[in-house]
Structure 1
Amino acid sequence: MDKWEMYMEIHQLIKKGFSKTKVAEKLGISRSTVHRYLKKNPSDMSKWVDSIQTRTKKLDPYKELILSWLREHPDMSAAQVEDWLKERYEDLEVGESTVRSYVRELREEYKIRKETSSRIYEAIPDSPMGEQIQVDFGHTKQKAADSKEVKLNFIAFVLSNSRYKYTEWLDRPFTTQDVIKAHENAFKWYGGIPGELVYDQDSLIVVSENGGDLILTQEFQQYKESRNLNLRVCRKADPESKGKIENVVGFIKHNFAKHRVFHNIDSWNEQGWEWLNRTGNYKIHHTTKKRPVEVFSLERQHLRPVTKNIDIKYNYENSISRCVHKDNTIRYLSNRYSLPLGTFGKYETVCIKETEERELIIYSPETGEIIAKHNIPDGKGLLIKDRKHSRDRTKGIDAFMNTVAEHFNDSEMAYDYLQVVKGKYPRYMRDQLQMIVKETKINNKEILSTALKECIKRNLYGATDFSNVVAYLKRHRQMEDTTNDTAKNVTQVKGVSAWVMETEAQKREVDAYTAILEGDPV
C-alpha cells in the first residue's frame, strides 16, 4: 500500500467511527503514523509525497549493495545490514532507525519478504556492578571461501550489569585447556575478575552434580583454585538464570556470524573482536538503553584485579599419548595414521582424542596445536593417510629452483639454466641445487651472473661446471687486482676470451677440461 492509499484508508476508517488505536491495529502501523496522516490536508499530503519521491536518501549510494545482501540473505536483519555497512565504510555515520526504515522500504519496493523465526526471551534482574559474568558456548556452520561448509565453535562472556561482551572462536571442539585459556584472555579483555561466574552444565567444566554439590573436571578445579574463582553452574533446563548470555549467543550468531564467509580461524577471531568494538559493545542495548562500552568504563572499577599470570600447559588429562614413529605415523586401534613430514624429530609423543563424530584429533602435548585430523575407519590394519602429509616432490624442486634463481641478476635466465640441469640430472636435481646454493652464499650476484652467462655460452650445464667457472672468475679477479699491468697485456688468441685461455682444470684431466672451454673460434 503506497502513501496515498494509506492516507485515504485512514480517513475512511476514521469517518466510519474507528478509533485511532483500532485504525493503527487494522492497518498494521503505529499510532504516531495515524496522527501524522490525519494532520495533513490533501494539499499538504500531495506536496509531502512529491518531496519524498524526489528527495535523495542518505543510503541511496549503497542501495545496490544492500539489495544484493537482502536478495542473497532474505532473513538478514536491519541491524546486521548496519553492521556490514560500517565494517566496509568506517567513515559512514548513519542512525539505526535510518537503516531500519531504508531496509523496510527496500523490502516493500522489491517484494523481499523477511524470513523470521520466533524465540522466547526472559527478563532477568541486573546484578550489581562487577558482580557477575555469564559464560556459554555456541556453534555455527559457515560457508568457507572454497564453498564448503565449516563448523565453528565459540565461547562467549558477558558482564551482567554493563552487557560488555567477549568471544573467542575455534575451528575444532573446545577442550578444557582451551576453556581455561579463553578465560585468561577474557580477564585480560575485561581488565579484571568478577565476583561470580555463571555457567551451563558443560562437560568441559562439570563432571557431575550430586544434589547441588558440583564436581568439576580436574583441570578446571585446579584453575578455579589458582584464580580463586567463585563459580555457579545452572541447573539443567533453567534458562532464566543465564538469560543474558543466551541473548548474547544469539546476537553473535545472527549479527556477526550469519552470512559471513570463513577464511581462517585467526582472521575470523580478529573480525569478531572488531565486531565487538564496532557493534557488540558499542550498539545501544535495547534493555538498558545504554552503550555497553560506556557502562563498562564504570563497572571495570568494581572488578578484582588480575594479580598474577598463570602458565597454561596443555596436559590433556583425558587424552591418550602415542609415540611418533620415524615414518611420521602413530598407531591407534590397530591402524596407522599419518602425520605431516617432519613431525618425527620434532615430537617424541603426541596426544590424541576421539570425538563423537568418530574423528581422531592429534594434538601437540605442549601447545595444544592440532597436528592432524583423521576420520576413524571401521577396519583394522589400515594406513589412514592425508595427502597433505606427503611431500609434493615436483613442487618442492620447483620452489627450490625459484629460490636459487632469485640469487642471480637475471632470475629468468637462471631458472631456464636450472631447467636444463634438471633435465640432465633428474634424479640428482636436489643435490645439484644444493651445490649451487653453496656458491650463492659465498659469492656476490655479479660473479654468479657472469659465471651463469659463460656456462650458457659454453654449454656447461651442471653444478660442478658452474662451481669451476665461479672459482676461475674469482682467481682471475684476484690476479687482476695484484698484477693489473700484466692483465692488460693479455691478448686474445683466435677470438677466444682471455679467461678461457687461463682456465686451470679442476676435478678433470687437464686436456679434457681445456678442450671443453676453448671450443671453436668465435
Structure 2
Amino acid sequence: MYVEIRGMLNQKYSISTIARKLNISRNTVYKYIRKSPEEMAEWTASTMTRSKKLDIHKELILHWLREFPDLTAAQVQDWLKEKYPEFKVGESTVRSYVRCLREDFQIPKESSTRDYQAVPDPPMGEQIQADFGFKTVKNRFGKPVKLVFIVFVLAHSRYKYVEYQNRPFTTKDVISAHRNAFKEFGGVSKEILYDQDRLIVVSENEGDILLTEEFQQFVNEIKFEVKLCRKADPESKRKVENAVKFIKNNFINNRIFHNIDSWNEQSQKWLKRTGNGKIHNGTKRRPADVFLLEKQHMRQVNSLNHIHKNSITRSVRKDNTILYLSNRYSVPLGTFQKYPEVLYYVTDDNKLVIYVQESGEILATHCISPDKGKLIQNRSHQRDRSKGIKELIEVVSEHFTNKSQATKYLNELRNRYPRYIRDQLSLIKKCIELGSLEVIDEALALCMERQLFSANDFQDVVSLFKRQRQVNSTNASDQQIDTDYNDIAELTLTDTEANQRPLEDYYTIMESTK
C-alpha cells in the first residue's frame, strides 16, 4: 500500500482521491506519506514479528468466520465481550484484525441476497398502496424547510395522488388525504396496503390488525380492507416506494419552497404533466390512460360525493380565518369551535370555496386577492356589534313616561359615544333604579331642553332634582311639626292617650325571632 500511495502522489493525485481509490481514510494516507522508505521497511518488519492483542483469540475468531462468512467485525467484538466480559478491545482494532484474517486465510465476506420473483399486477380496482415521504427543501431565503407528504398509488395503473404538509401529519390529516385521494380516484379499491405507521396502526397483532381509534372509525365508514407490509419487508410495497423516490428526484429536488398552498398546486400540475402523464418504465403505458379504465372498477363511496377533487385541508385559526397564499380568509363566527379543520378548493373563476368535510356545507366563498398579508372578510362573518344595543335602548326607554323622547335621547347618546354606548346606557339604567319616575322624567325633559347629551349629565340632573325634592320635603315636615305642636299644647293630660299596638303584632314578632 505504501508503494501505491507514493506512486499516486507522484501522479499528482490529491489526498482525498488516494483515500477514495484505496478505500482508506485520509489520516491513513497522511500516516504513510510521513514515513520514508527506510522507516516504512522497519515498521513493516516489526509488524511481522509483533504480537497482536487479539492473537489469543485467533482460533476462535477464525472458527466464527469460517462457520459464518457474513459475520461482521462489530458482531465479532460483541461476541468476544459476551464470552470474555473482562476483555477490553477497541472497535477499530477488531475491524483491522478481522480484515487481516479474511485476507490471510481467504475467507471472503458473503452477503445474503434476496431472490425476487416477478409478481403480476393486481386486477383493476383491487389495491391502493400508500406511504409517507420526507424531504428537506430550501425556501427563497435559503433556509431549510422540512416537507412531509403522503402518496397513494393505484397498483394496477400506477396512477398517483400526493399531498404535502410543512408540519407532521396527524391522523385527521391522514384521513382527509384519504378522502381527497378517493375523490381523485373516483372511488375506493378493495384493499389498501400500508406500512406499519403509528398514525394508522397500533399493532399487527398476529394478523388481527389493531388500528388507531380514529382510523378504525374511518375504515368502518368507507369499508375497505387494510393490508400491512411485514416488518423489514419494504419490497412488498415496491410500487409506492418507487413513486416516493420518483417524486423526490423528479419533482422535489432543487425546487424552491414559497408556501404550502402553492407547493401543492405545483404538485397537482406536475402529476398531470409528468407523474401520471409520462410513460411508465414498467408498464410502458401512461398511468393517466390506464386509469381511465381502472376508474370504472373503483367502488363508489356516497359520503365522498360532496368533496371536491382538488380539496385541501386547512386548520381554522382562533380568529375564525384560514390561511391561503399568505392571506387570511374569514369563515363564520364559531367555526373554530365547531369545525377545527375545513376543506377548500379554487374554482375556475378564481374563487376560494371553504366547506365542511363531513356534510359538504359551504361556509364561505371569497374572491382570491392578488395581494399578500391581507384580511379578506365577508360582512356576514363579522360580529354584529349593533345587535343588542337596539334591544338595550328599547329596554331602557320603557322606564320613561315619554318613551319616544327617551328613545330619541338614547339614540343621540349612541351617535356621540359609539364606543361607550353600553357604559352610557348602564349609567342611565342605574339612575332609573335609584330614582323615582317623576325625577327621571323631569331629568330627561331638562336634558333634552338644554341638550345635555351625556349619561353623566343625566346623572347630575337626577341628583339635582332629588336634592330639591328632599329640601322641599324637609320644609313641609317642619311646618307640619309646628302645627301639631300647637294642637298638642291645647290638650290636657287627660285628653292624651298613647297609641296601642294590637297584641297580635307582638305575637308575630316573637314567633319570628324563635
Per the normalisation by structure 2, the TM-score is 0.38
TM-score of the superposed pair, with normalisation by structure 1 = 0.38
Q: Which protein is bigger by CA-based radius of gyration?
A: 2
